[in-house]
A and B are shown apart, each in its own frame.
Chain A
């Protein structure tokens, strides 16, 4: 038994099975990210005035990552085109580029995550707030038992509102230096992880889910580039279809980032 139209287009629908399947899958992905983006909109609209953070993310790194993905979209297309004209060597080259670009993207993304997870805000007993990147803590540091000290590279502010908009002149003028705080002075200490506020929550969730998509796409492309490319010898047409279908997914993942970047980094 053989399933029809796995490789050739069905005459009356003009499409082969896998391509239709991946378009349907992408439709459901649109709804998935659509749901998450609407969550973003509702949370942002519902935030109390002056509560929604601005300028918390590194625009330069975001721009670099945007360019990397845009470039990978081009190499993906070229890899497929190379298959279409039956130039296997070029295919290998272009998809090697795609994989490297994707891995670089993930590398930058993990650097950004690391930056957020080592960024602490300490609510002090005197009502002020210390905010900065973690440098080190003393050996006997224990917040619960109020022993030891912690050193942050950052600054101390009177009003927590000063930490919200990092694009404001006040925030830009702030001097950052190493500050050492005793545990006895700390009321509450937390990093800029997902639990920090709704912005970091939606930032980590959206970009995390997107990064998982990048990872999955990279794995598929790597498989097709490596062991899966054996099919080139037996059935180049079917193999080309696989490149096309995985490319469609990859373009979708790129497109999601095109929405994520302005929504999270630029506003």
Chain B
């Protein structure tokens, strides 16, 4: 056995005989289409698979939102252009091409589900994480390539189940993406059961992914890649993976219990004496609706950090690269990310102040919620301070990264009144909440994801995306995002509730003039503006879509493997990286952000560039 000890990865040039038979799949010269694109075990192909699927899902989720916005602005009016198509596909719920309240509920629930679980998380964590993380730590692939493939396939199946649920009788789930019981169980259609099965598949996918990411980052770091030399992006993915690993299973438990409620007639979340439609439900009762909310938000809140941490990682890389100086407060960033990850597990009940769970519990969660804002603010502050005194290189990725900072700032700061129980009681379930978390996720995370697409596109394809159309995409998106979401703060403060299929007409001052706190005409009018801004936002994505596909074959070719003059290892591979990534084993000798090191010939010093005064060479044992 001793003779076989392999200390560090034998890389591509070393054609070691396969000593560990049985895990075949070596580099066959010719892979057919299925092997190459569908059943690939290469982390880069899987990353692109995830990226492509999640972008499609995001577009679909956006389209659902447009239909909902039409219904909000013009309740009961048939949808122009798409109305007849909807009626043809979905039948009764879309009679006459208008969106019925039931269909509106379906779209609402599925918009949330798709955007969170099939759009943003797979893109931020699975797509970028898969493509970039192994490259950044100098690994030949993920630790478990087959598991990686299985993870994508489970994700794909989960997506298919979610999509299929639109076409079953009664349509998709209607109880919101939070699926509160007893509503989720008492709606007499099977959409919820499909939703639960789809979620179990998606949770399985993220579980496999999380195990794989953590094992990869712990085990496959290249020699010299110590923990404090890892780029912040890798740290962000690491913490995210732990959150997914530990926060998702309680939702899986809850999903199993709710599935039992829906399919086997149990009463886990149904209280004694539950009446449905004026009739006492034929149920044993004895269950607890609050139990669902606890289990759901035990995932639900950490999930917020799953959405935001990878985005912060991407922004950190792009800011360091384009300010041409080291990231300010690297260690603070790392410790803050770890602290956020830990603390995200004990803030969940701030989503439940209104449930009557008790003042003492509310006070506890209010305190932890205020505490968790500290590391988030540290992270954002470090990024702002990184800009200080830099000669900033403006390009599309940097624009999106810069856009992320204030947009996420707005999203984060408007969350404070929601974290305090007293103010939350008033703002809960209003459009204020919608505006708050969309600022975090849409112009926040999604901008960071766009930045990442523009930034790593040259590594994936060897070509750049068009700079001009990238800037058009950025400025239009920034403008229309704000016109869409900013008015919602006002609507929410005026008391407009979310999840109303008529957009608040029932409570409008024009309909009930003498009611106290009826929604004034100015607030109702905003619905129309938001609709047109949302449509414009959709149109603003067209340059991106065309740019993305056109540039794959027609973009300007990059003249080196490192077109942004970056320091991290992901730019030290051939372009695009082949299966196995590196032509030689990288030896990391310095930290991730050595930009503009004094005395160095160029303004960047790659992590594996040997011999420099700025960093002592670490002991390269075992080689």
- Whether the pair A24, B264 counts as a contact (CB closer than 8 A) is no
Instruction: Determine the residue in chain A with the shortest Cβ distance to B16.
Output: A2
Residues of A within 8 A of B621 (CB): 11
A209 and B144 CA atoms in complex are apart in Å by 26
A113 and B577 CA atoms in complex are apart in Å by 55
Residues of B within 8 A of A159 (CB): none
Which residues 36-50 of A sit at the B interface, judged by CB distance below 8 A?
Answer: 36, 38-39, 42-43, 46-48
Chain A 247-262 against B: per-residue CB contact (8 Å), 1 yes, 0 no? Answer: 0000000000000000
Instruction: Determine the residue in chain B with the shortest Cβ distance to A193.
Output: B264
Residues of A within 8 A of B274 (CB): none
- Whether the pair B266, A194 counts as a contact (CB closer than 8 A) is yes
Instruction: Determine the residue in chain B with the shortest Cβ distance to A36.
Output: B253
Residues of B within 8 A of A234 (CB): 21-22
- Whether the pair A29, B249 counts as a contact (CB closer than 8 A) is yes
Residues of A within 8 A of B290 (CB): 42
Given the interface pairs A4-B6, A32-B250, A39-B295, the reply to whether A17 lies near B143 with Cβ below 8 Å is: yes
Instruction: Determine the residue in chain B with the shortest Cβ distance to A237.
Output: B1
- Whether the pair B218, A13 counts as a contact (CB closer than 8 A) is yes
Q: How many residues of A contact B (CB 8 A)?
A: 52
- Tell me if B570 is interfacial: C-beta within 8 Å of chain A: no
Secondary structure dominating the interface of A: helix
The stretch of A59-67, A141-149, A172-180, A195-203 in contact with B is A195-203
CB distance from B294 to the nearest CB of A (A): 8
Across the interface, B254 reaches (CB within 8 A) one of A28, A35, A43, A235, namely: A35
Across the interface, B272 reaches (CB within 8 A) one of A48, A194, A196, A238, namely: A48
- Tell me if B298 is interfacial: C-beta within 8 Å of chain A: yes
- Whether the pair B207, A238 counts as a contact (CB closer than 8 A) is no
Across the interface, B144 reaches (CB within 8 A) one of A7, A21, A27, A48, namely: A21
Which residues 224-242 of A sit at the B interface, judged by CB distance below 8 A?
Answer: 231, 234-235, 237-238
Given the interface pairs A28-B248, A35-B250, the reply to whether A20 lies near B219 with Cβ below 8 Å is: yes
Across the interface, A5 reaches (CB within 8 A) one of B16, B26, B147, B220, namely: B220
Chain A 1-35 against B: per-residue CB contact (8 Å), 1 yes, 0 no? Answer: 11111111011010111101100110111011111
Which residues 130-173 of B sit at the A interface, judged by CB distance below 8 A?
Answer: 140-145, 147
The number of chain B residues touching the other chain, given as a range, is 35 or more
Which residues 201-256 of B sit at the A interface, judged by CB distance below 8 A?
Answer: 207, 210-212, 214-215, 218-220, 245-254, 256
Instruction: Determine the residue in chain B with the shortest Cβ distance to A18.
Output: B144
Which residues 12-29 of B sit at the A interface, judged by CB distance below 8 A?
Answer: 12, 16, 18-23, 26-27
Residues of B within 8 A of A209 (CB): 256
- Tell me if A205 is interfacial: C-beta within 8 Å of chain B: yes
- Whether the pair B211, A24 counts as a contact (CB closer than 8 A) is yes
Residues of A within 8 A of B4 (CB): 7-8, 237
Given the interface pairs A35-B253, A46-B288, the reply to whether A3 lies near B246 with Cβ below 8 Å is: no
- Tell me if B287 is interfacial: C-beta within 8 Å of chain A: yes
- Tell me if B602 is interfacial: C-beta within 8 Å of chain A: no
A179 and B52 CA atoms in complex are apart in Å by 65
Given the interface pairs A4-B8, A21-B211, A28-B207, the reply to whether A201 lies near B22 with Cβ below 8 Å is: no
Chain B 578-607 against A: per-residue CB contact (8 Å), 1 yes, 0 no? Answer: 011000000000000000000000000000
Which residues 537-560 of B sit at the A interface, judged by CB distance below 8 A?
Answer: none
- Tell me if A51 is interfacial: C-beta within 8 Å of chain B: yes
- Tell me if B520 is interfacial: C-beta within 8 Å of chain A: no
Given the interface pairs A3-B140, A234-B22, A237-B1, the reply to whether A198 lies near B286 with Cβ below 8 Å is: yes
Among B247, B264, B266, B288, max chain A CB count under 10 A is at B266
- Whether the pair A43, B268 counts as a contact (CB closer than 8 A) is yes
- Tell me if B515 is interfacial: C-beta within 8 Å of chain A: no
Residues of A within 8 A of B178 (CB): none
Which residues 258-280 of B sit at the A interface, judged by CB distance below 8 A?
Answer: 260, 264-268, 272
- Whether the pair B215, A198 counts as a contact (CB closer than 8 A) is no
- Whether the pair A5, B219 counts as a contact (CB closer than 8 A) is yes
Residues of A within 8 A of B283 (CB): 195
- Tell me if B257 is interfacial: C-beta within 8 Å of chain A: yes
- Whether the pair A201, B143 counts as a contact (CB closer than 8 A) is no
A-B contact count (CB 8 A): 177
A64 and B382 CA atoms in complex are apart in Å by 60
- Tell me if B613 is interfacial: C-beta within 8 Å of chain A: no
A231 and B246 CA atoms in complex are apart in Å by 33
Given the interface pairs A17-B219, A24-B211, A24-B214, the reply to whether A235 lies near B260 with Cβ below 8 Å is: no
Residues of A within 8 A of B249 (CB): 28-29, 31-32, 34-35
Instruction: Determine the residue in chain A with the shortest Cβ distance to B259.
Output: A205
CB distance from A190 to the nearest CB of B (A): 9
A59 and B266 CA atoms in complex are apart in Å by 24
A159 and B248 CA atoms in complex are apart in Å by 43
A11 and B141 CA atoms in complex are apart in Å by 19
- Whether the pair B140, A39 counts as a contact (CB closer than 8 A) is no
CB distance from A225 to the nearest CB of B (A): 16
Residues of A within 8 A of B211 (CB): 21, 24-25, 28
Instruction: Determine the residue in chain B with the shortest Cβ distance to A52.
Output: B286
A6 and B18 CA atoms in complex are apart in Å by 13
Instruction: Determine the residue in chain B with the shortest Cβ distance to A236.
Output: B1
Across the interface, A43 reaches (CB within 8 A) one of B215, B287, B622, namely: B287
A20 and B16 CA atoms in complex are apart in Å by 25
- Whether the pair A43, B260 counts as a contact (CB closer than 8 A) is no
CB distance from B369 to the nearest CB of A (A): 21
Across the interface, B22 reaches (CB within 8 A) one of A13, A47, A231, namely: A231
Residues of A within 8 A of B6 (CB): 4, 7-8
- Tell me if B390 is interfacial: C-beta within 8 Å of chain A: no
Among B20, B253, B264, B284, max chain A CB count under 10 A is at B253
- Whether the pair A31, B250 counts as a contact (CB closer than 8 A) is yes
- Whether the pair B245, A7 counts as a contact (CB closer than 8 A) is no
- Whether the pair B210, A39 counts as a contact (CB closer than 8 A) is no
CB distance from B244 to the nearest CB of A (A): 9
Across the interface, A195 reaches (CB within 8 A) one of B20, B265, B288, B295, namely: B265
Across the interface, B291 reaches (CB within 8 A) one of A1, A15, A42, namely: A42
CB distance from B371 to the nearest CB of A (A): 23
Residues of B within 8 A of A202 (CB): 268
- Tell me if B417 is interfacial: C-beta within 8 Å of chain A: no
Among A31, A33, A204, max chain B CB count under 10 A is at A31
Instruction: Determine the residue in chain A with the shortest Cβ distance to B244.
Output: A28
- Tell me if B521 is interfacial: C-beta within 8 Å of chain A: no
Chain A 176-216 against B: per-residue CB contact (8 Å), 1 yes, 0 no? Answer: 00000000000000000111111001101100010000000
Residues of A within 8 A of B1 (CB): 237
- Whether the pair A28, B286 counts as a contact (CB closer than 8 A) is no
Residues of A within 8 A of B257 (CB): 36, 39, 205
Instruction: Determine the residue in chain A with the shortest Cβ distance to B292.
Output: A39
- Tell me if B10 is interfacial: C-beta within 8 Å of chain A: yes
- Whether the pair A39, B246 counts as a contact (CB closer than 8 A) is no
A5 and B580 CA atoms in complex are apart in Å by 15
Closest 5 CB pairs of A and B: A35-B253, A1-B580, A35-B250, A195-B265, A201-B266
Which chain B residues have a beta carbon within 8 Å of chain A's beta carbons? 1, 4-12, 16, 18-23, 26-27, 140-145, 147, 207, 210-212, 214-215, 218-220, 245-254, 256-257, 260, 264-268, 272, 283-284, 286-288, 290-291, 294-295, 298, 579-580, 621-622
A/B interface sample: 14 pairs, CB < 8 A: A1-B12, A2-B10, A10-B219, A11-B7, A17-B215, A18-B144, A21-B143, A24-B215, A25-B211, A28-B207, A34-B250, A35-B254, A47-B286, A48-B272
17 further A-B pairs in the complex, CB-CB below 8 A; given A21-B143, A34-B250? A1-B12, A8-B6, A17-B219, A20-B219, A21-B144, A35-B249, A35-B250, A39-B253, A39-B257, A39-B291, A43-B287, A46-B288, A47-B286, A48-B272, A51-B286, A195-B266, A205-B256
Which chain A residues have a beta carbon within 8 Å of chain B's beta carbons? 1-8, 10-11, 13, 15-18, 20-21, 24-25, 27-29, 31-36, 38-39, 42-43, 46-48, 51, 193-198, 201-202, 204-205, 209, 231, 234-235, 237-238
